[in-house]
Amino acid sequence: MDSALLRHYESVRQRSLRLAEPLSAEDCCAQSMPDASPVKWHLAHTTWFFETFVLEPHESGFAPFDPSFRYLFNSYYNGIGARHPRPQRGLLTRPPLAQVLAWRGQVDERIAALAATAGDALRDLLTLGLHHEQQHQELMLTDVKHLLAQHPAAPAYLGRGLPAAPPSAPLGWQRFEGGLVEVGYEGIGFCFDNELPRHRAWVEPFELATRLVTNAEYARFVEQGGYRDPALWLSDGWDRVAAGELAHPLYWQRDGNGGWREFTLHGLAPLDPHRPVTHLSLYEADAYARWCGARLPTEAEWELAAQGQAVEEGSLHPDSAPRFGLSQLFGACWQWTSSSYAPYPGYRPQDGALGEYNGKFMVNQYVLRGSSCATPAGHARASYRNFFPAGARWQFTGIRLAR
Amino acid sequence: MDSALLRHYESVRQRSLRLAEPLSAEDCCAQSMPDASPVKWHLAHTTWFFETFVLEPHESGFAPFDPSFRYLFNSYYNGIGARHPRPQRGLLTRPPLAQVLAWRGQVDERIAALAATAGDALRDLLTLGLHHEQQHQELMLTDVKHLLAQHPAAPAYLGRGLPAAPPSAPLGWQRFEGGLVEVGYEGIGFCFDNELPRHRAWVEPFELATRLVTNAEYARFVEQGGYRDPALWLSDGWDRVAAGELAHPLYWQRDGNGGWREFTLHGLAPLDPHRPVTHLSLYEADAYARWCGARLPTEAEWELAAQGQAVEEGSLHPDSAPRFGLSQLFGACWQWTSSSYAPYPGYRPQDGALGEYNGKFMVNQYVLRGSSCATPAGHARASYRNFFPAGARWQFTGIRLAR
Amino acid sequence: MDSALLRHYESVRQRSLRLAEPLSAEDCCAQSMPDASPVKWHLAHTTWFFETFVLEPHESGFAPFDPSFRYLFNSYYNGIGARHPRPQRGLLTRPPLAQVLAWRGQVDERIAALAATAGDALRDLLTLGLHHEQQHQELMLTDVKHLLAQHPAAPAYLGRGLPAAPPSAPLGWQRFEGGLVEVGYEGIGFCFDNELPRHRAWVEPFELATRLVTNAEYARFVEQGGYRDPALWLSDGWDRVAAGELAHPLYWQRDGNGGWREFTLHGLAPLDPHRPVTHLSLYEADAYARWCGARLPTEAEWELAAQGQAVEEGSLHPDSAPRFGLSQLFGACWQWTSSSYAPYPGYRPQDGALGEYNGKFMVNQYVLRGSSCATPAGHARASYRNFFPAGARWQFTGIRLAR
Amino acid sequence: MDSALLRHYESVRQRSLRLAEPLSAEDCCAQSMPDASPVKWHLAHTTWFFETFVLEPHESGFAPFDPSFRYLFNSYYNGIGARHPRPQRGLLTRPPLAQVLAWRGQVDERIAALAATAGDALRDLLTLGLHHEQQHQELMLTDVKHLLAQHPAAPAYLGRGLPAAPPSAPLGWQRFEGGLVEVGYEGIGFCFDNELPRHRAWVEPFELATRLVTNAEYARFVEQGGYRDPALWLSDGWDRVAAGELAHPLYWQRDGNGGWREFTLHGLAPLDPHRPVTHLSLYEADAYARWCGARLPTEAEWELAAQGQAVEEGSLHPDSAPRFGLSQLFGACWQWTSSSYAPYPGYRPQDGALGEYNGKFMVNQYVLRGSSCATPAGHARASYRNFFPAGARWQFTGIRLAR
């Protein structure tokens, strides 16, 4: 196998450890809700993935680091067997964090040894494992943010303050002609099975907003009664508003002076008017769009607009002008689309247990496009399909308007 | 206004009464689950619809039959105001059934009087009200079936026995070429706003099964372990299987001799092998399709196949050969599609409170196409979009395979 | 058997029918919560009691009116067999009310025929059945009150207005010396097994309030922050206050002018300051007592005070001066005691399924003493032990203070 | 203040640390259910108790170690102010265990300094704080046992194996004459307010079993259908049996060979037939007693039998013959009584927030008497009143029969 992939392997694996560095073993063990997982669990599960899907079928004389981990750190692969119940991941005080780190080290060594002899055969599996780990790196951040947000002291994950965003550019509209287009991954690099096959789709002419909706814009929606007018809301969303579950983005708090502050990975901070609003459900994104006389894009529209664009990494700069005039496609917030998560025409899941990776979740979820400030560099693509239930708010989700 | 519409009005309104005839006032009052409504409530709500949306804005000197009914029998129109909580409809022992029937009579007379003088202006509203009432006629049947099914004696709604279905034809496949097609309602008759606008869509070549899946076929799926293999199921569906909530179609029971019986509107009956299987969730329909190496159709595929076909009314005869070889498009079971319920490109809801009729439900639901044995004659269309959550089973839902 | 008992039988059975007279078949069928039962169910269950426990073992050639009723109308007797789930009693639209009435008539005739020949052997069973029916007569009133209270129109069970109570007397205290006393039923009449055996108990000197707490007094507690001070509350009670479940007696509503109105069996009425406060949980009764520097009596204290007193029937007159100066012992409100419902020393339940009548409920409930305005004449006794969970509020429960 | 109390203080405080020694910081942070608390929380809360109730009112120039701890580690004292929600104690990854230990050390030094100058005035408060800490020491063991039991590997808290118990003696009966007795604490040592005032009670003659029910005896009850016969059960208990929640003592598991094993603080072990059965709800204890033709004792009966007996510390030896022939009164299992937890006649809670210690829980709980193998030496008394809801099973609860 070429050494570039192995260096990439080491780099990705190291980054997971770096993400855990600001956290104690206690921080890494707790689970704040069934949808979120402990950081230790993420560190273990990503290792389980390599041990189970790479080493077990390919390492001669394979023996697991600890046989009980097959059960403890299986996420949802029925093809692998039974697993620990998801809502109880926070009760796994054993193995301790130190042992999970030892496991990571041992698996990394075995992967390196295997790669040295295996030639190119493992390339696809390793690559999948690294993209899988990058997905969990984002979840480590969103899950630990949710955990810390439950603490009355609202402790910061990162000590240094949140930098102020540059002033947001005026919101413009970019027109696309649509027509009979192609969407889905095209190329020779990696993609997930849910991005395939590339296929034709008919898209009517449309416009996309040139940047994401900002905190200042969304605050106006809140202040002007956006959460009090049922005519703006999908029925399921209004039910949540009426039940008192939705009144503002997840981590917003009134600051006592008529303004807002927001819990961030850097702790509580005054709401930055120029940053894109984030931690919204699809219901809120949709209601905001209706309030503006706009709508959410379909995933085909979004992808069409993003095709051929360079992926901006981690950029919050809405004025960095990309080729077509659209900024913040990547690196700011995942962007809700109105498209439910469904198989592309001709979709075929991978064979075996890995076929459970994506396909079985294609119901009751909505597609998000782009990437967020928490997405690892190199992970995003124009054809990438992220997905969450319409009510999910703990991811870095935002709004790109369409019309 | 032309007298044909008024005659149609009388006919549709009469049919609602006929549907209630086999039932006592007690039967008409009870509510078996929050999703279902009492028959009396349906009789009242459909009358509320005419009083609120036709008489109130158009009748000179309008006064409601009873002002409290505006609150009691509003289903979900926030634009009209507050309403009685849906899960508590079964506690509305007042007004009594007799008073609801008197209300119906009075409203019918006022509608007739209004129609005599109003010219054609009310045509659209009356027509909408009648299609609305037909939708509730189907719900009266599915809701009362669910109520009676909760009773240990499994009482029959209809005394006479369920006739045996003729032998089912072999399942064949009809090929369609797809391409750049048009879907959505086209014509000068009535359609709901969600069927508009007619628009272009790209459809890859596909095949549809020539008839619905039968009870015998589905029973094989059950007996051969369909509910025991997680690889066949969407994740949300498997969660329900694992929790013991799904093990066979809703109204099936083991008969104690290795076979099945089924609760029907005619009471308990041996499972008819030739009838289409019904009362399935989307999860079950999807799992069955996967077990066969097939899939569910998209709504565009289904509509394309149905365009130009005569609507067969109430037919259970799978051997009645329509033009393209597809039978049971209409009149047997609603057919789950893999399409989530979403607005068509350019969709605009009606103005005012009637805009809540369809649009606000366009999330977390899946489209069903065709019509069922409980759908009133004249109500179905090739472009008709029925919709329910993926887990709903108390409607007459069935499976048309695609590939 | 003596004819007096048979006349009493007829009288009690007729009274159940009279209680149902103001209600339609729909009113009699609905169930407002799992703890409450439909009136039709009460009419049927009391008949089931006579058919099951009197006719079945004693009538020669016994055949049930309808074999399915054994299952449908069994309340909780495991010794009799399986039963319809309590929360689903409101779904029993079949048998219709008319058939239940026919059943009542037939059972009454058979009881009369049996009694004519049976001599005195059935006296005890019939007497138990009649006391059982009287208990359900009170539940018919409290359950239908709860049902009607759920209706937005707050319909009255009884048309005529609620008469104003005479002015309440000043609250005085009656002293009792206690000592080694005897409690439990003594005599040759009927009592439930839970009132036996009569036994000795040591009671320290105590005082009881001469009348019940009035609405006016309790309203002061509410207005002066009784529901805002956790120091007044048992922990379980405060949890309910903090969750917003307890803020005033069950059927009180603000009248919009700084006062209160109350839902009664006569419909909504201004709160009568002189009537005893009712529809309180034990938590509220206990908090009020603590607010006054008093406490709730034990059941032994209450019984000691009531021994030898005439049972006032249905009296709301707090100034009718009984022998010891205590009024409203009977006929106004059931009076919460601080005593948990437990077996008396040496308690033996009846043999057979009737042993389930009382004994198996002797946990997690508190004893109420006296009787209420809804208790049938002749049903109360000084030794009578009523019992409900501490949170129950839909019975006519009130407060007698002790210290 | 005398130095003996200070030495006792140091000893008790040290013991809490020793109990945590086998556990990692992760083990100490997790919470397995709302009723249980993390070990770290116990270590912090017991320190909070001394800081809040001893140092704050008595230390000159008092400043809290960390002001936020007042909120985080308040258990249930409304008089002290708001508090962190109990079900979320497991999310308190901050402060880390090390900081809680530092807090403990600082508070211990300040207490020592205060005691040196304070004379005897603080004696009562310090003594209460130490008994409070001992109660939490027992909870540390039962709570961590529950946590470890949730882990699929069933890890041991203590490495060394569970020693086999000596053969159990035959079960005998000890007769007591009862009469007008006195119960409640008498003496000059410490007791909780709920043990006062000592008061008279009338007790009929009774017999108590000379030892607790053993595992072997209880296993016979299980094998002979004790959990299948509703006639043995209180109604609330049977509901739990029927719902599948109760089928054997909490930590029992089938061993696959027709026997049982049990999860203990030493890990999984074969069920020891001679040890007293433990981890039972009141429902199970009561059903077992009924199955034997016996009953549970009242708390007065139990106390009468224990008066004047030496407290056996931590003894599992049923053959160590005490004066009256009763063994295992103390040091084996808490013994369910049939007495609900209620105030003694004339009970007065302490003034101020400490009045919340016991009084507000006197509803919906049952009294347990004696002490368990997890109770610290010196903590038990004949008059001691432990209390839990009837369904609680995670404490070391057992059965002493009465008749």
pLDDT in tens, B22-50: 999 999 999 999 999 999 999 999 999 99
Report CB contact under 8 Å: A202, B202. Answer: yes
Identify the band that residue D308 occupies on the pLDDT scale cut at 50, 70 and 90: confident
pLDDT tens digit string along B358-378?
Answer: 999 999 999 999 999 999 999
Give CA torsion, residues D281, D283, D289, D292, to 10 deg: -110
pLDDT tens digit string along D332-366?
Answer: 999 999 999 999 999 999 989 999 999 999 999 99
d(CA D42, CA D138): 10
Cα radius of gyration rounded to whole Å, chain A: 21
Which residues are paired to B372 by β-bridges? B332
Cβ partners under 8 Å of residue D398, min gap 6: D212, D213, D276, D277, D278, D280, D285, D332, D333, D334, D335, D336, D372
Mean pLDDT of D369-387: 97
- Domain spans, chain C: 3-149, 173-398
Helices marked H in C73-172 — which ranges? Answer: 97-118, 123-149
Instruction: Please check whether residue D68 touches A, CB under 8 A.
Output: yes
Query: Is the model more confident about A323 or about C357?
Result: C357
Identify the band that residue D163 occupies on the pLDDT scale cut at 50, 70 and 90: confident
Report CB contact under 8 Å: C147, B97. Answer: no
Among B29, B88, B152, beta carbon nearest to C84 = B152
Report CB contact under 8 Å: C79, D202. Answer: no
Cα–Cα nearest to C47, from C28, C74, C86, C87: C74
Q: Give the per-residue pLDDT at D77.
A: 95
Helices marked H in B151-269 — which ranges? Answer: 215-223, 235-242
Which of C71, C91, C99, C145 has the highest number of chain B CBs within 10 A, making it the mutation to test binding with B? Answer: C91
- Regarding the domain delimited by D3-150, which CATH topology (the fold level of the hierarchy) does it fall under? Four Helix Bundle (Hemerythrin (Met), subunit A) (1.20.120)
Nearest CA in chain C to D345: C204
Low-confidence ranges of chain C (pLDDT < 50): 314-323
Cα–Cα nearest to B214, from B401, B392, B366: B401
Q: Give the number of beta-carbon pairs within 8 Å between A and D.
A: 73
Report CB contact under 8 Å: D360, C204. Answer: no
- Regarding the domain delimited by C173-398, which CATH topology (the fold level of the hierarchy) does it fall under? paralog of FGE (formylglycine-generating enzyme) (3.90.1580)
Cα–Cα nearest to D38, from A145, A151, A26: A26
Kindly give the confidence (pLDDT) of every residue in chain B, 403 residues in length, as a single tens digit, with 9 standing for 90 and above: 678 999 999 999 999 999 999 999 999 999 999 999 999 999 999 999 999 999 999 999 999 999 999 999 999 999 999 999 999 999 999 999 999 999 999 999 999 999 988 777 789 999 999 999 999 999 999 999 999 999 999 999 998 788 889 999 999 999 999 999 999 999 999 999 999 999 999 999 999 999 999 999 999 999 999 999 999 999 999 999 999 999 999 999 999 999 999 999 999 999 999 999 999 999 999 999 999 999 999 999 999 999 988 775 544 444 444 445 999 999 999 999 999 999 999 999 998 999 999 999 999 999 999 999 999 999 999 999 999 999 999 999 999 999 9
Instruction: Please check whether residue C361 touches D, CB under 8 A.
Output: yes
Q: Confirm if C105 and C97 have CB atoms less than 8 A apart.
A: no
The structural architecture, per CATH, of the domain C3-149 is Up-down Bundle (1.20)
Report CB contact under 8 Å: D363, C204. Answer: no
* D window 134-163, beta carbon within 8 A of A: 147, 150-153, 155
Q: Give the per-residue pLDDT at A313.
A: 52
Q: Give the per-residue pLDDT at A324.
A: 54
d(CA B63, CA D46): 69
The angle that helices A282-291 and A215-223 make with each other, rounded to 10 degrees, is 80
Q: Sort out which chain D residues have CB atoms less than 8 A from C201's CB and list them.
A: 202
> For chain C, how many helices (H) and strands (E)?
11, 11
- Specify the 3-state DSSP secondary structure of A60: coil
pLDDT tens digit string along A59-114?
Answer: 999 999 999 999 999 999 999 999 999 999 999 999 999 999 999 999 999 999 99
**Residue B230 preceded by cis peptide, ω within 30:** no
pLDDT tens digit string along A204-239?
Answer: 999 999 999 999 999 999 999 999 999 999 999 999
Q: Give the per-residue pLDDT at A161.
A: 80
d(CA C95, CA B354): 40
Q: Which residue is it, tokens 């005398």?
A: D2
Among B24, B32, B90, beta carbon nearest to C96 = B24
Give ipTM to 2 decimals: 0.95
Q: How far is A116 from chain B (nearest CA, A)?
A: 35
Instruction: Please check whether residue B57 touches A, CB under 8 A.
Output: no
Which residues are paired to D276 by β-bridges? D214
Q: Confirm if A252 and A260 have CB atoms less than 8 A apart.
A: yes
d(CA D396, CA D332): 8
Q: Give the per-residue pLDDT at A320.
A: 45
Residue B348 has φ and ψ, to the nearest 5°, of -130, 120
Element (H, E) at B269: strand B267-270
d(CA A75, CA A85): 9
Residue C119: exposure state from Cβ atoms within 10 A (0-12, 13-18, ≥19): exposed
- Mean pLDDT across chain D, nearest whole number? 94
Cα-based distances in Å from A329 to A361, A369, D220? 25, 8, 69
Q: Give the per-residue pLDDT at A145.
A: 98
Produce one character per residue of B345-359: b if its CB has 16 or more CB atoms within 10 Å, e if not: bebebeeebbbbbbb
pLDDT tens digit string along A159-202?
Answer: 878 888 999 999 999 999 999 999 999 999 999 999 999 999 99
Cα–Cα nearest to A341, from A327, A322, A361: A361
| Cβ-based neighbour number of residue D322 at 10 Å | 18
Report CB contact under 8 Å: A97, D26. Answer: yes
Pairing of strands C267-270, C206-209: unpaired
Q: Is the pLDDT of residue D315 over 60?
A: no
Instruction: Please check whether residue A364 touches B, CB under 8 A.
Output: yes
- Specify the 3-state DSSP secondary structure of B126: helix
| Cβ-based neighbour number of residue A302 at 10 Å | 28
Element (H, E) at D149: helix D123-150
Q: Give the per-residue pLDDT at B176.
A: 97
d(CA C374, CA C331): 8
* Chain B touching partners, 3 or more CB pairs below 8 A: A, C
Q: How many CA atoms lie within 13 A of B52 on its CB side?
A: 25
Q: Give the per-residue pLDDT at C85.
A: 96
